[in-house]
Amino acid sequence: MKNQNRRDFLKTAGVLTAVSCLPINLVELAFADSRKNFTFAYISDSHIQQIEGSKFVRNWDRGLIRAVAETNLLDPKPDFVVFGGDLAQLGKKSELDHGAEMLAKLNYKTYCVMGEHDYYLDLGEYWSKLYGDHYYSFNHKGVHFIVLNSILTYDDWTYNRWPTAEQRMNEMAGLDNPNGSPFMVGEKQRQWLSKDLEKVSKDTPIVVFSHSPIQKIFKGWNFWTDDAEEVQALLQPFDDVTVIYGHVHQIQYNQIGNISFNAVMATAWPWPYPRSYAQNKDFVPKLTVPMNRANPFHERDATGWQLIDLDSGRVALRYNLYDNTNRTVAYNPLTGRPEDKDFQDKAKRIPSQEHY
Amino acid sequence: MRRIAITATVAIIVTGLMIVAMLRADEFTEKDQQRWQQEYMSVVAEGRELWVSPDLGTNGVACAQCHPNAANTHPETYPKFQQQLGRVVALRDMINWCLMNPLEGAPLDLDSREMVAIEAYVTYERRGVALAPGKH
Ligand SMILES: [Fe+2]
Ligand SMILES: [Fe+2]
């Protein structure tokens, strides 16, 4: 009912729609140490897809264009933007170029994360020309940020299994393709991470950006990282750790020990929750209050982008959902876990959040 | 004269076949069942191929891109009221709706081989779920 009202309102609002979705300067900042507070925006999973020549799938283009335009309108301005991976659909130069051209319109410094759709054609070579290293870290206002390339897999699958690079890309691109292979961070990168963390004091807040979840949710769709436990073990000794991931195209959040997990939406299309697949057991974290079921008659429903507040080292994610009611998932220091601001209480949930 | 003879012969043969068929109507073997299941599964496989095909529509988008394992298609709820279409529709109508919109394609004939194959695949992935006609 609530959604319908909002939809009706948006219809009447007409050209003002874009602006009405953006009550962003109303975000409350209630922090202990105000010097540490800042925001950044998170855009992910645009899946820019070439049809032929200069023709691209209009639907996916619109999703990214809108995210960039809305992010540029933010007031106050975010300190930077993160793009969470899957810029392209089939890793082609033409797709990465077209996506990069749209991303370049952002008025802010942009950090990029590798997605499997960007990687498995040329193993990230062209992506590197555009965005540099596949994994790296940086410090910003007292927070240590780590960008991982978590979509690697077993060498045998990557190097020996497929006769052509195009086929390798196609096999990994199909989410439910049984010929795919589980994602992983891998030994080499874990060693780098362990070294990188040596310099960081235990009370420094850590925020990790990865494409896959760094937790095990559903292997059948690669909502999964095979060496998740090993990576988690490196992060657990720190007081405040947050992992922000893309790939799943839906709202998810979880708490494992000291580590908070938050997923972001895609700008391209939403995915069903694993529980909607009848031949599968449900491993989505119990903590998660799902996004609303998507209405396919609204092309941009259940897609969007995020504004993230760093609340003294923990995050509050505001999901800006193009054709739906916005949601906020924030770390609650009293319970020690991320919670939905409006719907965490079971009694407050609405029928649209029920997936089957 | 000749035509009558032919008609009579055909009639006798057909009647004969019908009697044979009637005699065996309630008899089938495990082998029959296996063959029928194989026939069905081969159509499921055809449906799966269409499901992941970039050529079903016109823009290279496949059904599987948004519906992995045909999740979120809810075949057990059809026929049901689709508020946006304003009436009770069949699963086939929604298959065509998604084909015409996100895939920017032409609708399939409702009785076409492809339509049956897609339905076979979608319902196969949903096997075991109780019927819930009309549920949104
Ligand atoms: Fe994606
Ligand atoms: Fe992905």
pLDDT digits 0-9 by tens, A46-83 = 999 999 999 999 999 999 999 999 999 999 999 999 99
Identity at B44, one-letter amino acid code: V
B109 φ/ψ angles, rounded to the nearest 5 degrees: -60, 140
How far from the centroid of its chain's Cα atoms is residue A195's Cα?
26
A269 vs B66: CB contact, 8 Å cut-off? yes
Nearest CA to A300 among A105, A18, A52?
Answer: A18
How far, in Å, CA of A51 to CA of B41, rounded? 32
* B70 lies in some domain: yes
Domain that holds residue B63: 27-125
How far, in Å, CA of A24 to CA of B32, rounded? 65
* B111 lies in some domain: yes
How far, in Å, CA of A208 to CA of A190, rounded? 13
* B1 lies in some domain: no
pLDDT digits 0-9 by tens, A286-296: 999 999 999 99
Q: What tokens were used for A122?
A: 């040329």
Q: How many degrees, rounded to 5, is the angle at CA B34 between CA B33 and CA B37?
A: 85
How far, in Å, CA of A123 to CA of A144, rounded? 27
The predicted pLDDT at position A12 comes to 35
Strand partners, A43: A83
pLDDT digits 0-9 by tens, A95-114: 999 999 999 999 999 999 99
Residue A31 burial (10 A CB sphere; 0-12, 13-18, 19+): middle
What residues of A are in contact with residue B66 (Cβ under 8 Å)?
A: 269-271
List the single residue in A with minimal CA-CA distance to B74.
Answer: A356
Strand partners, A253: A262
The arithmetic mean of pLDDT across residues A310-314, rounded, is 86
Is residue A348 very low, low, confident or very high in pLDDT (cuts 50, 70, 90)?
very high
The DSSP secondary-structure symbol of A160 reads I
State the nearest Cα–Cα gap between A316 and chain B, in angstroms: 28
Q: Say whether A253 sits in a helix, a strand or coil.
A: strand
* B113 lies in some domain: yes
- Do A214 and A225 touch, CB atoms closer than 8 A? yes
Identity at B80, one-letter amino acid code: K
The predicted pLDDT at position A262 comes to 98
* B12 lies in some domain: no
Among A51, A174, A278, the residue with its CB nearest the CB of B60 is: A51
Q: What percent of chain A has pLDDT over 90?
A: 86
Q: How far is CA A340 from CA A227, A251, A344, A345, in A?
A: 28, 10, 5, 9
Ligand 2 center to A184 CA (angstroms): 13
A57 vs B59: CB contact, 8 Å cut-off? yes
A297 vs B84: CB contact, 8 Å cut-off? yes
pLDDT digits 0-9 by tens, A138-156: 999 999 999 999 999 999 9
Is residue A32 very low, low, confident or very high in pLDDT (cuts 50, 70, 90)?
very low
The predicted pLDDT at position A40 comes to 98
pLDDT reading at A44 higher than 90: yes
Average pLDDT, chain A: 91
Using DSSP bridges, classify how beta strands A81-83 and A38-43 pair: parallel, antiparallel or unpaired: parallel
Residue A12 burial (10 A CB sphere; 0-12, 13-18, 19+): exposed
Using DSSP bridges, classify how beta strands A259-263 and A314-321 pair: parallel, antiparallel or unpaired: unpaired
The answer to whether B124 faces chain A, any CB pair under 8 Å, is no
Q: How far is CA A136 from CA A87, A111, A155, A204, A225, in A?
A: 19, 10, 22, 17, 19
Domain A7-349, CATH 3.40.190.290 — does that match? no
* B38 lies in some domain: yes
The arithmetic mean of pLDDT across residues A210-228, rounded, is 97
Nearest CA to A244 among A262, A229, A230?
Answer: A262
How far from the centroid of its chain's Cα atoms is residue B23's Cα?
30
List the single residue in B with minimal CA-CA distance to A352.
Answer: B136
B52 vs A177: CB contact, 8 Å cut-off? yes
In this structure, what CATH number is given to the domain that contains residue B84?
Answer: 1.10.760.10
What residues of B are in contact with residue A58 (Cβ under 8 Å)?
A: 59
* Residue-level length of chain A: 356
Identity at A106, one-letter amino acid code: L
Is residue A323 very low, low, confident or very high in pLDDT (cuts 50, 70, 90)?
confident
The predicted pLDDT at position A17 comes to 39
How far, in Å, CA of A306 to CA of A41, rounded? 6
Entry pTM: 0.90
The answer to whether A51 faces chain B, any CB pair under 8 Å, is yes
B102 vs A296: CB contact, 8 Å cut-off? yes
Per-residue pLDDT 10s for chain B (136 aa) are 455 565 666 565 555 555 555 666 779 999 999 999 999 999 999 999 999 999 999 999 999 999 999 999 999 999 999 998 999 999 999 999 999 999 999 999 999 999 999 999 999 999 999 999 999 9
The predicted pLDDT at position A21 comes to 44
List the single residue in A with minimal CA-CA distance to B123.
Answer: A278
Q: What tokens were used for A9?
A: 């309102």
- Do B105 and B115 touch, CB atoms closer than 8 A? no
Strand partners, A42: A82, A306
- Do B78 and B133 touch, CB atoms closer than 8 A? yes
Q: For chain A, what are the domain ranges?
A: 7-349
Tally: H helices and E strands in chain A: 10, 15
A168-172, A262-266, A333-337, B9-13: least confident range: B9-13
* B62 lies in some domain: yes
pLDDT digits 0-9 by tens, A235-292: 999 999 999 999 999 999 999 999 999 999 999 999 999 999 999 876 789 999 999 9
End-to-end alpha-carbon separation of chain B, Å?
64
Chain A to chain B Cβ contacts (< 8 Å): 61
Total domain count, chain B: 1
- Do A109 and A140 touch, CB atoms closer than 8 A? no
